[in-house]
Structure 1
Amino acid sequence: MNFIQTRGIDPAYPSTVTFSEAILSPIASYGGLYVPENLPNLGLEFLNKHLGSSYKDLAFDLLKKFEIDIDANVILEALDLYDNFDNKNNPVPVVKVKDNLYVSELYHGPTRAFKDMALQPFGRILSSVAQKKNENYLILAATSGDTGPAALETFKNQKNIQMVCIYPANGTSDVQRLQMVTEDAKNLKVIGINGNFDDAQAALKSLLASKSFNDTLKEKNISLSAANSVNFGRIIFQIIYHIHSYLELVRHNAIEMGEKIYINVPSGNFGNILGAFYAKEMGLPVEKLVVSSNKNNILTRFIKTGVYDIKDDELILTTSPAMDILKSSNVERVLFSLYGADRTKELMSDLDNNSKYELTKDELEKLQEIFIADFCDDEEGKHYIKSVFDEGYLMDPHTATCLKAYETVCDPKIKSIVYSTAEWTKFSPVIANALTGEIDTRDLDALSSISREAKVEIPQMIKDLFTKEVTQKTVIEKTDIEKSILNFL
């Protein structure tokens, strides 16, 4: 399968690229992104075929449907990394919380967040491609807290790879920060910036598109790629677990095969729900995709009004920080699927130049045929954490945002899958406050509070973070990112 470009074709770019080319150089013409030229059509035949399959067998067959140019043995080796999750036979448990509400737990990997689902296999594949081409790559990642630890984990000590992770110095939880700054592999560099995630993401996109930066890297015989969800290598693995979760509901006898469901995703950069969008386009029976936002409710406003407007907005720091994003990169791929390259280029140019774009009435109707949305503020989120805990389930503040949309925009007669993107350990001060009213300023105190209240053990991998040596101490102004990267190299 070939990949095409969301904003049309600059004559300097090829009209199509292979999967391996798209993951090695993820930024396309005019600053756009790569998308599949065609999506495979799965239908009920594919779903029925995999009703008894393991997660890895489902994943392998889906990747085969995309006809990606990666050797089968490399794909199998990458998928074997799911064996390191809590339960190798079921890396993504689906748990019933209410009569028509199920939670798909995506956080059972090595860094306790959903990014492991894509980055564990993706890192192995990208490194294999680099070795096969006998080329050296610099991988950039910007993180609001979870991409960074997962990307560092997957790329550490990988051959032909150096990696730089950029994060907002005051924008993550203690656990997320410690997962990054205690990494000591020689091929990794972690850079904290005095800014927010949008600043980190803007810097990443700017460097990916910078001719001078790329030319400097070429002098060092290094090519440039990215581990963020601008890279379709991330997205392709995020399609799989939506299909798996649907099949789990069938296996639980919660739905019949072919019955439509809601897929409800806490949404920041839009990569997770984009995977669900592609799954729906490929034939997964979905009633609506539910976009759950926090108080930075740009996405909710966009889906309800058709106006994407950030010109007067300042980023709000919330208790669900991984969703503290104003400029959601992967919305662009949905725009392309619905309206084509010319219109996507026009809309994204409006966003870049005016910090705003607006859909027509017909375009909005097309969007609303697929998506519904609501947002949840911090106090509401803590209410949902407590109320669900009282019913026997412990969830993090990002997952809690989905409970608001479940109540306000979903038909209660239709089954819903909510996607839990992080383990409770990643955001313990918020959860401890919601459960006990305690105000713990340190993650370690909050972890202990929750452990006592919920009668759960703190995972050893989380405990160990607080005694590991901090090896990555760089915190700089955002204007110094390029200089810091070049010094590392």
Structure 2
Amino acid sequence: MKFRSTRSNTCVAPSYALLHGLAPDGGLYVPETFPEQVLQYKDLAGKSYQEIASVVLSYFFTNFTDEERDAMIASAYNEHTFRDERIVPLHSIDTDVSISELFHGRTLAFKDLALSLFPYLLTAAKAQEREDRDILILTATSGDTGKAALEGFKDVAGTNIMVFYPSEGVSPMQKQQMQKQEGNNVNVSAIYGNFDDAQSFLKRVFVDPDVNAYADEKGVLFSSANSINIGRLFPQVAYYVSTYVSLVDNGAISEGEIFDVVVPTGNFGNILAGYFAKKMGVPIGKLICASNKNKVLADFFETGVYDMNRQFFTTDSPSMDILLSSNFERFLFYVAGQDAEKVAQWEKDLSETGKMAVSAEELAQLRREFEGGWIDDGETEAVINHVYNDYGYLLDPHTAVAYGVYMNRRRQGLCEGRHTVVMATAHPYKFPPVICQALALPKHDDAFDELLEIADVTGMALPKPLAELRNKPVRFGSSIEKEDMKQAVLAFVDAIHGRA
């Protein structure tokens, strides 16, 4: 398997794409030939999550032997990295809807499912490419990616990681997770700006010849842990395949039966992994893109116009507070019939005007597989309250957005009698202020006091990673202007060089 850019015919080996993240022309890497309709339930039945992941990744990371892949997967998914031996357990709300729980990893978010494996993939790719420079992972986060990446790459030899997050755009618990991060090779900085500011800056850094030349002189190579990297994206396909197998095993659907999936969506990587799982043979009907008030994606699936020229909102679901979804370019590549020139033009339109549009025919085609919906903060809190009081199940605000969109579709008769899976992206205890508001519990200045309040009412114990967090010291408490991000990166490059 080789990987090509979404903006040209340039092809590279998987190890090169893993190591560099972004194509030289600014495009994203996609498989040169996608492995379509290669998965069937009968070949997956009875397999563990680890075995399913091995099957899925064998189609993409052909640069590794089966033994090498299996060893990396075993190191990534085990009792030390995930609290549930099933890795992705399935919870049934009623006969029509299931919750796929993606939050049982070390940082209590779905990002752990890829970022537990990615460091092993990257380290192996570095060896294959005979790369002797230190790797500097540059990552922008809207909440969960940062902590998961920091935890995955903590003290990994030959690798360093720097994370930027919006100072007022993450939950108090997400902020503490990053500010208190351990490890000798990590760096974290808040910025006065939003996630789009951080992400746009990093994408420019990857193709900036002067910055890259400076890093090269210091023996440093930039890479990414955002889902623009294939090492982040393709491991996520595995949990859609695992979810399908669990649905059949649990009797929720029969073998080959079509089901819908609702995904709370910000940067489009999670739902894109579902799209790839469908292309590989998982019988997904509709992929429903659930948005909060920053509903640029929901509007696109309604109108065919992606328009970033709008107000940016800080919401109860901060990981979705994004207007420029970087993985959307990969989706457009397939909407365009793999026409790289058309994708390049669309991305040029977005860059220059903040707006791009597909044709009416293209919109009709994509809506056969995708639909969008959105709810606001008030509705999100009402959904959390409703699901907890009616089913005894506590949703985080992102999953609540997805469930709320599902409820709206169900009321409108759009589910077509199909079973629906809501992808649960984070543990609810990562968002104590929102949960307290939704359940009408007393609020506290200290997020940990709010967690104790929630635990007292729900009887749900604090997960160990959060229980241990309270007494850890803050290591990274500073904030910088977004215009100073370049200097911050260069300073960290100097520090890495000084340690070498």
TM-score band by shorter chain is over 0.9
What is the correspondence of 1:64-79 to structure 2 with a 5 Å cutoff?
A: 64-79=58-73
2:15–2:126: 8 Å Cα contact kept in structure 1?
Answer: no
Cα distance, 1:113 vs structure 2: 0.4
Number of aligned positions between the proteins: 482
Correspondence 1:374-385 to 2 at 5 A: 374-385=373-384
Q: How far apart are 1:184 and its partner, in Å? A: 3.2
Q: Measure the CA separation in 1 of the matches of 2:371 and 2:92.
A: 23
1:97-148: per-residue Cα shift (whole Å, max 9, x none)?
1221100000000000000000110112212322452332111110011000
Partner of 1:402: 402
Match of 1:63 in 2: 57
Aligned AA (1:142): A
For residue 125 of structure 2, give the secondary structure of its aligned residue in structure 1: helix
Counterpart code for 1:121: L
- 2:306 aligns to what SS in structure 1? strand
Runs of 4+ in 1 over 6 A off after TM superposition: none
Aligned partner letter, 2:361:
D
Structure 1 equivalent of residue 88 of structure 2 = 92
SS at match of 1:436: coil
Aligned equivalents of 1:247 and 1:124: distance in 2? 26
Shift of 1:27: 1.5
Residues 192-228 of structure 1, C-alpha deviations (whole Å, 9 max, x = no match): 1111111111111111111111000110111111000
**Corresponding position of 1:484:** 488
What is the TM-score with the length of structure 2 in the denominator? 0.94
Partner residue of 1:31? 26
Contact preservation (8 Å) 2:18, 2:125 = no
The Cα of 1:468 is off from its aligned counterpart by: 0.5
Q: Which residue of 2 aligns with 1:359?
A: 358
Overall identity of the aligned pairs, in %: 38
2:120 matched to 1:124? yes
| Displacement of 1:361 | 0.6
Name 2:496's counterpart in structure 1.
Answer: none
1:88 CA drift (Å):
5.4
Say whether 1:111 aligns with 2:116.
no
Partner of 1:251: 249
The question of whether the paired residues in 2 share the 8 Å contact of 1:265 and 1:273 is answered with: yes
Describe the SS at the equivalent of 1:465.
coil
Aligned to 1:139: 137
What amino acid maps onto 1:310 in structure 2? M
Alpha-carbon contact 1:131-1:160 (below 8 Å) kept: no
CA RMSD of aligned residues (A): 1.5
Where structure 1 has 5 or more consecutive residues not aligned to the other structure, the ranges are 10-14
Shift of residue 87, structure 1, vs aligned partner? 4.6
TM-score in terms of structure 1 length: 0.96
Give the counterpart of 1:317 among 314, 317, 332. 314
Aligned runs of 1:286-435 on 2, under 5 Å? 286-311=284-309, 313-339=310-336, 340-390=339-389, 391-409=391-409, 410-411=414-415, 413-435=417-439
Contact preservation (8 Å) 1:100, 1:412: no
What secondary structure is seen at the aligned counterpart in 2 of 1:417?
strand
Provide the residue aligned with 2:223 in structure 1.
Answer: 225
Going from structure 1 to structure 2, the CA distance change for 1:135 and 1:487 (only over 3 Å counts) comes to closer
CA deviations over 1:406-460 (Å, ceiling 9, x no partner): 1233416210010000001111110111112533443212211210111111123
Deviation readout 1:128-181 (Å, 9 max, x if unpaired): 322452332111110011000000001011111011111111211121111111
Confirm or deny: 8 A CA contact 2:83 2:105 kept in the other structure: no
SS at match of 1:31: coil
Give the Cα–Cα distance (whole angstroms) in 2 for the partners of residues 106 and 29 of structure 1.
Answer: 33
Per-residue deviation, 1:29: 4.4
Distance 2:30 2:444 in 1: 44
The offset of 1:74, in angstroms, is: 3.7
Query: Shift in Å at residue 333 of structure 1?
Result: 0.5
